[in-house]
Structure 1
Amino acid sequence: MHNSNPILYVMINKLSKYRKIHFFKAQNSINITISYIKYCMNKQ
């Protein structure tokens, strides 16, 4: 079924990979922010 339209399949595949990377980066930056806030609170 995928072979009938390989270009579309490749585009969807790339998009899903990009979204996974983007989600991971967003999650990572949130974790860093939380860690920084905890660090500041412990310092006080």
Structure 2
Amino acid sequence: VTIACDAVLSSKSPYRKQDPDTWENELPVSKYANNLTQLDNGVRIPPRC
């Protein structure tokens, strides 16, 4: 079973080949999102620490 798992993990996957290509291009900024401002509604969410 260990040998089979190692073979699956070390095999070349088409998904691994696609991952670096997807992050190379910059996403264009939308003309609608460019001027958006976030309003303060007075509610603060504490961190989960």
The normalised TM-score by structure 1 is 0.32
Tell me which of the two structures has the higher relative contact order, counting C-alpha pairs closer than 8 angstroms and 6 or more residues apart. 1
TM-score relative to the length of structure 2: 0.31
